[in-house]
Chain A
Amino acid sequence: MKKLFAFIFLLSFFCNQAQTNKRLDSLKIILKNQSKRQQFSTLIAISNIYAGIDLDSSKIYANKAFVLSEIIGNDSLKIKALIFLGNTSWERGNYAESIENFNKSLTISNKIKNTETIADAYNGLGIAYSKLGKLNTSISYYFKTLKIYETLSDSSGMGAVYLNIAWDYRKLKAYQKSVDYNNKSLQIYSNLKDSLHMAMVNNNIAGSFNELGHYQKSLDFSNKSKLYLEKLKYERYTAYPLTNIAISNDSLHRYVEAKKNYLKAIELHTLNKEPYELAFLNNALANLNYNLKDYNNAALIGKEAIRFAEEVDAIEFMASASKTLAKTYEKLNRFNESNSYLKHYITYNDSILNSEKIKIITEIETKYETEKKEKEILAQRANIAEKELHINQKNTQLIGLVVLAIVLSLLGYLLYNQQKLKNHQLKKESELKEALIKIESQNKLQEQRLTISRDLHDNIGAQLTFIISSIENLQYGFQITNEKLKSKLTGISTFTKETIYELRDTIWAMNKSAISLEDLQVRISNFIDKANTISTKTVFEFKIEPSISNTLQFTSVEGMNIFRIVQEAVNNAIKYADAIHISVSAKNENNNIQFSITDNGIGFNEENSTIGNGLNNMKKRAHDIGAELSIHTKETIGTTVLLRL
């Protein structure tokens, strides 16, 4: 498991040694003559190159880059340097320092809201925590990273994160989940046609399948990985898929094939100088030889396994190799050596068991502490929930009180409004009633005055009739011969009759609330008929145009004044103008009603003549009803009186 993990990170920093040194030298030379920003980029490039060959130098250059970024004062450069430092730290095994650097990077990234570098920092934290074995924390960081990469549609980043998650699940022995995430990663890298990563993912899947016991599937994936590496000419690193192929074949009892692959893998790891991998492989090969009953070779290879295991202090391989050697020497009847290796095996095993016991105790302690903390958390949560409930209750009460205050205010406002409205309406009503009473009292007073007037009119009418009757009796009873006296009596009688007519005309107008055009027409016609009987030589004509609406109505004053004006004009024409033809007409002119009284009499000179009482009265009456009166006359031709309403 460890060997595969190491492979992924080693491979990512791999480069050709000779070319690397040459490039490093040239970068160091150009560094001296560069601006600060260029120097920063060069330092990062040098750190990056050293990451593959010398982690201490890589850290030194990354530190220099960070110091320079602080001098420049650029946050983006600081983040870049911190991420490099973080990566260098975990590669050197200093996980606490790595976490610190990534956290610093995360703080600055959050400050400048750079999502890409936030994702890089999360990913770095995930790797560091994964190395520390805090897999739950590391996986949570990986998922945060994944979310950001998904938002940024960064396929390459997503593939890398899936790969990291797959590794963590593999560490948690959740092999199927590991295969699932590896498959997701594989799909992305296939789309990107990234052969190197495809080789890595295929090998990881093969490893998981070996753990799940699917050896044939494991073989398929290992072969694919090997093929990709060969195509890329990374033949030295084909040791990893070869190891998986050997394990699969060994498990399938294809010992010859397995041996061939173990040997090839050992050869390549020897070139890479990797004692840990060699300890594992030699032990596995020793076991294989034991199974093939080649005890001498098994003993030799087993000793090699112990030598490599001692080199890296890998007790688990020392124990397993000692066990293999004990079994092998027993078969070779070399019991002393067998006994010795058996004792070694027991010692190593005890040591492992002790380590395991300590590990188990630590785990139990951790579990106990975790449970204790969980209980404390639960108690705190309960406490918080209770407080929240209390706060909620208070909030509810507060909201209730606020609402109550609002409702009360509204109620007060409504009551005030209602009262105000009541007062206003009562005032309005009383004002109206007062006005009504005032008008009614005025009307009553006027009614009384009119009643008195009517009584007076009746009396005057009777008196006038009596005068007329008395005069007529005088005229006919006493047979007056004096012409002057006769004429005087006739004059008084006529004048009295005219007074009665005037009285009747006014009573006619007073008995009507409104005078219609028809009423006026009848009244004027009657007057003309009467005039016609008095003045027989004069021809009268009276016409009203049909365009005037019959529904037209005048007030009693208007009706009376119109009638009086017509009457006065006709009388003037008969009395003074000596007219043969008098025409009275009414017509509609520009939405105004126009009465015209025309005669063909002698007329008069407007400039020389003084206006008499009759004409003045006519003008006054017209003015009283808001009408316009005009007189057009020419000597010997006639006169026209126009009344415009």
Chain B
Amino acid sequence: MGIQLVFSVLIYFLIIVLSVLMIKIWYDTLFLNETVEKRCLHLKADIKEKTEKHRIYTEHLLLADELHKSIFNRLFQITKELILMQKLIYGKRF
């Protein structure tokens, strides 16, 4: 009878301890979830900001590329004109 009683008490004690542990794990999981979620949100916001910056940079580079093309064309044109002008000056003189 005594052993039976001790066994019963032990079982129920284990149930209580494990239940407490279970609640703790559950709470920890919730807390962990919340913390990681916050960190992820922060990271996402960072990524969004950097992506926007990246977009602006890309646009600026696009403009720069376009400008470079145009400027090189123009410089080529100016050089051509200057050479023609040089030909005109020196052609007349010699």
Which partner residue on chain A sits nearest B92 by CB separation? A482
Enumerate chain B residues within 8 angstroms of A429, measured Cβ to Cβ. Answer: 36, 39-40, 43
Number of interface residues of B (CB under 8 A): 55
Are the C-beta atoms of A415 and B61 separated by less than 8 Å? no
Min Cβ gap A417→B in Å is 7
Determine the main DSSP class of B at the interface with A.
helix
Are the C-beta atoms of B57 and A446 separated by less than 8 Å? yes
Assuming the A-B contacts A397-B11, A414-B25, A499-B74, are A556 and B32 also in contact, with contact meaning beta carbons closer than 8 angstroms in the complex?
Answer: no
1/0 contact string of B33-50 vs chain A (CB within 8 Å):
100100110011011001
Enumerate chain A residues within 8 angstroms of B11, measured Cβ to Cβ. Answer: 397, 400-401, 404
Cross-chain contact of B29 among A393, A403, A417, A443 (Cβ < 8 A): A417
Which partner residue on chain B sits nearest A415 by CB separation? B25
Are the C-beta atoms of A503 and B56 separated by less than 8 Å? no
1/0 contact string of A447-484 vs chain B (CB within 8 Å):
10110010011001000000100000000000000101
Are the C-beta atoms of A425 and B8 separated by less than 8 Å? no
User: A502 at the A/B interface (Cβ < 8 Å)?
Assistant: yes
Are the C-beta atoms of A418 and B54 separated by less than 8 Å? no
The CA of A447 and the CA of B56, in the complex, are separated in Å by 10
User: A31 at the A/B interface (Cβ < 8 Å)?
Assistant: no
Which partner residue on chain A sits nearest B19 by CB separation? A407
Q: Tell me the chain A residues, 543-560 only, with Cβ under 8 Å from chain B.
A: 555-557, 560
Q: Spot the interface stretch: A17-25, A309-317, A434-442.
A: A434-442
Q: Tell me the chain B residues, 5-32 only, with Cβ under 8 Å from chain A.
A: 5, 7-8, 11-12, 14-15, 18-19, 21-22, 25-26, 28-29, 32
Are the C-beta atoms of B4 and A393 separated by less than 8 Å? yes
Assuming the A-B contacts A414-B22, A425-B40, A556-B60, are A488 and B88 also in contact, with contact meaning beta carbons closer than 8 angstroms in the complex?
Answer: yes
The CA of A129 and the CA of B15, in the complex, are separated in Å by 57
Enumerate chain B residues within 8 angstroms of A410, measured Cβ to Cβ. Answer: 22
Which partner residue on chain B sits nearest A414 by CB separation? B25
1/0 contact string of A398-415 vs chain B (CB within 8 Å):
001101100110110011
Q: Spot the interface stretch: A85-93, A366-374, A489-497.
A: A489-497
Are the C-beta atoms of A400 and B63 separated by less than 8 Å? no
Cross-chain contact of B74 among A442, A495, A513 (Cβ < 8 A): A495
Interface centre among B19, B58, B62, B64 (most CB of A within 10 A): B64
Are the C-beta atoms of B59 and A555 separated by less than 8 Å? yes
Which partner residue on chain A sits nearest B17 by CB separation? A407
Enumerate chain A residues within 8 angstroms of B71, measured Cβ to Cβ. Answer: 460, 499, 502-503
The CA of A415 and the CA of B24, in the complex, are separated in Å by 11
Enumerate chain A residues within 8 angstroms of B19, measured Cβ to Cβ. Answer: 407
Which partner residue on chain A sits nearest B24 by CB separation? A414
Known: A499-B78, A556-B63. 7 other contacts (CB 8 A): A401-B11, A443-B50, A460-B75, A484-B88, A509-B63, A513-B56, A556-B56
What residues make up the interface of B, taking CB atoms closer than 8 Å to A?
A: 4-5, 7-8, 11-12, 14-15, 18-19, 21-22, 25-26, 28-29, 32-33, 36, 39-40, 43-44, 46-47, 50-51, 53-64, 66-68, 70-71, 74-75, 77-78, 81-82, 84-85, 88-89, 92
Pairs of residues from A and B, 8 with the lowest C-beta to C-beta distance, nearest first: A446-B57, A400-B11, A425-B36, A432-B43, A506-B67, A453-B64, A439-B50, A499-B74
